[in-house]
Amino acid sequence: MTAATTTAADRPSRRAFLRLRRHEPPALRPPWAAPQAVFSDLCDRCGDCLPACGEGILVRGDGGFPTVDFSRGECTFCGDCAAACPTPALARTDPAAPPWQLTAVIGDGCLTGLGVVCRSCGEACPTAAITFRMEVGRSPQPRLDPAACTGCGACVAPCPAAAVSVQPSPPPTTGDDR
- Angle of CA points 130, 131, 135, to nearest 5°: 135
133 bridge partner residues: 141
From start to end of 96-158, where are the E strands?
A: 102-106, 130-135, 138-144
**What's the CA gap between 17 and 82, in Å, rounded?**
31
Nearest to 113 by CA among 68, 78, 163, 59: 163
From start to end of 52-162, where are the E strands?
A: 58-60, 66-68, 102-106, 130-135, 138-144
Structure confidence at residue 6 (pLDDT) = 46
**What's the CA gap between 111 and 149, in Å, rounded?**
21
Structure confidence at residue 150 (pLDDT) = 96
Q: What is the pLDDT along the chain (178 residues), one digit of tens a residue?
A: 444 444 454 555 566 556 555 556 778 999 999 998 899 999 999 999 999 999 999 999 999 999 999 999 999 999 999 999 999 999 998 888 899 999 999 999 999 999 999 999 999 999 999 999 998 888 999 999 999 999 999 999 999 999 999 999 876 655 544 4
